[in-house]
Amino acid sequence: MLESRVVPAGVRGTVLIACIAGSVLGLSPDADARVTRIVFNAPTYPYGGTVFGTVGTYEQLDGIAYGEVDPADPLNRVIQDIELAPRNTHGMVEYSTLVSILKPMNMSSSNHAMLFEIVNRGNKLNPGFFNVVVDPRTHPEGDGFLEKQGFILVWAGWQADLTPQSNLITMSAPVAHHRNGRTITGKVRSEFIVRLPMGVSQPYFASTQPILADSSSNTAGYATASFDNSHDTLTMRVHQNDPRVAIPNHEWAYADCTSTPFPGVPDPQKVCLRAGFDTNHIYELVYTAKDPIVMGLGLAAIRDVGSFLRNESGDDAHTGNPLAGQIHWSLLNGISQSGRLLRTFLQLGFNRDERFGRVFDGMQPHIGSVRDYINVRFAQPGRLAGTQHTEKQYPGPEGPLTYGRSYDPFTHEEGGLLDRCEQTRTCPKIVHTMSDIEYWEASGAFDTVDPSGKQDVDIPDNVRIYQFSSTQHGGFSPAAPLPNSTGICEQLPNANSYTYNIRALLVGLLNWVSKDIEPPPSRYSTLEKGTLVPPDEVAFPAIPHVTGPRNPINIWNTRQVFRRGEHYDADDVSGVISIEPPVAHAEYPTLLPQVDADGNDLDGLRSVTLRAPLGTYTGWNVRGAGFSQGDACDLTGSYIPFAKTLAERQASGDQRRSLQERYGNVTHYRAVATEAAERLVSHGYLLPTDEADAVTSAVNQAIHAGLPQ
């Protein structure tokens, strides 16, 4: 059973590192974690005959990779419940995963770099994230940035609880059972926040929710062990920190009521509430679930598929590897949930393959400042890992968050994300990027500050960290017009794009890996420079009709130390959780970026837009009436436009200078934006090929904002 291998949290990392070191020295049994079979369909051509610069046309290969993992290998033993997974005839644990490859038809014209993206809840994000797309219906390739660079784009599934859908990259992993074959059950906590259907903008009621719901999209969830809910608890509250109010058990059921009135049609993976779930509450279900998936096998799948495509000529049946001999450099990137997964992958030692070699030369975790909730029994890797309003108490924000070693005075642990890869000499070069929201909602400051909050930490030589100043989590397309709808939030979403900056840093990572050309210096807010401060020192200006960050509900998230049970290892975000909801017993200090007189970040990597601002751009926004008013609008920042003229500013009482006072007209604005772009190019934060487009994007926004020609 699991408990037989649990060691005290304070020594577990040391024991595992010792095991890893032993395996490197040849003291462990031979490892055998690999792709055994891979099958691809006939090529397809998603971009038709589009020619991308000198690289040419692209083709797509979709298929399935079948792998097996040795549960006795010390590097695989970290996978939760792998010892309770079914095994094949030669003692291996099997999995399968979808694989998709988008590559130049003429591979000699590629840059010979594999860009392996960790999919986000099964979705490919890279093409629409790095490529500037104006109309995905007619030009899904957008400006074709990734393709013009010659990247070989790869995706593989890792999240084994996704519902199979034609557009998702999914994975299949086994369910764990007790050694005597009995079903494993356990306590699971689920949080529901009702999302609005397409086209609906008003407060809304829903009769039924998936049993995991909310950010665990595309996921059916763990089935209840019994339709009898008498031992389970469903509560509701308006704000995250409000007391939980119990809903009587006779008012809800494990059922689907979408077409049949309460109590509906029994369904072990859905919850029906007689009065309906509304958009103004957080609902929390604590129940007994069954059949935990060995979710951590997703980490092995990324490792094994990445290693196979780079190193092998074919599978066990001699089916050829379509990338054989073509991969000279291997990069791994992840965005948001996938960025957190990437940091987990690195920290748990999965960048070392069966040959004891490094799998990925470079990594770019983006907007993933903590770690992912994958390697826990009954894991829910689709969760956000906590914002101020949503899913705050789920695993992920536990330490270590720093890449180098740091001491945590709250848990009395010391460690860093690079501990295992340093022991096995498999650490990659890392370009870590994050938006302003990671500071406000996801503990981003503690990627660069020690857990006490008292000093900046040294960044390892193989790591660069960049804060995209005054931006929101998912970014904003530079081809999009200024937003004109606030949605459920008080303010417009943040319109400060970081697309052109992250493109430059991706190229910088490739040059670092392939040519040993160091990327530009890290740029982020620090304690030393006074640009990272406690919340009460953030000098945000008073702006008419704007609820500031210190409204009756503090808009920033806080990071806490939770007790989750004696068999949970917070250092590795691994183990078995037995206490739900978890019990908080300490709170870390909160640190946020300092702002200028306009409310924009002083430090970090400031885009062309921020150097020629049209308003205030924040890493927070406030939820409106009917949606837990006053809490943070999850992962959404604000764009608060400047007044157009001096007279307009004076009439409203706005202390921020107007567009007229700052720039006069578009001609002068263009000059300011051009100078900003030139400076970014000179320092390596903007590609010369993107300079003109970055200026044009900023100017178009200025025209849209009402700046006279």
What 3-state DSSP class applies to 296? coil
Query: Strands, DSSP E only, in 416-527?
Result: 429-435, 463-468
What is the value of pTM for the model shown?
0.94
Q: Are residues 189 and 172 in the same domain?
A: no
The pLDDT, as a whole number, for residue 199 is: 78
Q: Are residues 312 and 257 in the same domain?
A: no
Q: Are residues 327 and 209 in the same domain?
A: no
Q: Is residue 307 part of a domain?
A: yes
Q: Are residues 363 and 300 in the same domain?
A: yes
CA neighbor of 334 nearest in space, from 171, 60, 590, 117: 117
Tell me the C-alpha distance between 267 and 262, whole Å.
12
Q: Is residue 681 part of a domain?
A: no
C-alpha distances out from residue 120 to 336, 368, 408, Å: 8, 12, 30
Which of 401, 422, 443 is at the close of a domain?
A: 422
Number of other CB atoms surrounding residue 683 within 10 Å:
13
Give the length of the chain: 709
Q: Are residues 323 and 270 in the same domain?
A: no
Q: Is residue 584 part of a domain?
A: no
Which of 258, 273, 290 is at the close of a domain?
A: 290
Q: Is residue 599 part of a domain?
A: no
Tell me the C-alpha distance between 325 and 311, whole Å.
7
Q: What phi and psi, each to the nearest 5 degrees, are found at residue 297?
A: -60, -20
What is the count of structural domains for the chain?
2
442, 557 in Cβ contact below 8 A? yes
Q: Is residue 585 part of a domain?
A: no
Q: Are residues 33 and 171 in the same domain?
A: yes
Q: Is residue 702 part of a domain?
A: no
- Give residue 189's domain range: 185-290
The pLDDT, as a whole number, for residue 357 is: 94
471, 335 in Cβ contact below 8 A? no
Q: Are residues 168 and 209 in the same domain?
A: no
Q: Is residue 573 part of a domain?
A: no
The pLDDT, as a whole number, for residue 75 is: 86
Q: Is residue 478 part of a domain?
A: no
Query: Strands, DSSP E only, in 219-350?
Result: 233-237, 245-246, 252-253, 255-256, 265-266, 270-278, 282-290, 329-335
148, 52 in Cβ contact below 8 A? yes
The pLDDT, as a whole number, for residue 7 is: 33
Q: Which residues have C-beta within 8 Å of that of residue 18, sequence separation ≥ 6?
A: none
Element (H, E) at 153: strand 152-156
Helix 297-311 × helix 337-347 angle, to 10°: 80
Q: Are residues 275 and 140 in the same domain?
A: no
Low-confidence ranges of the chain (pLDDT < 50): 1-31
637, 494 in Cβ contact below 8 A? yes
Residue reference for tokens 């797509």: 60
Lookup: tokens for 631: 């809490």
Q: Are residues 317 and 355 in the same domain?
A: yes
Q: Which residues have C-beta within 8 Å of that of residue 470, sequence separation ≥ 6?
A: 436, 494, 496, 595, 600, 601, 606, 610, 616, 617, 618, 619, 637
Tell me the C-alpha distance between 305 and 171, whole Å.
12
C-alpha distances out from residue 45 to 62, 136, 659, Å: 11, 15, 47
Q: Are residues 207 and 156 in the same domain?
A: no
The pLDDT, as a whole number, for residue 3 is: 29
Number of other CB atoms surrounding residue 179 within 10 Å:
8
C-alpha distances out from residue 34 to 31, 87, 146, Å: 9, 15, 29
Q: Are residues 12 and 156 in the same domain?
A: yes
Q: Are residues 107 and 221 in the same domain?
A: no
Residue 96 pairs with which residues in a beta bridge?
66, 172
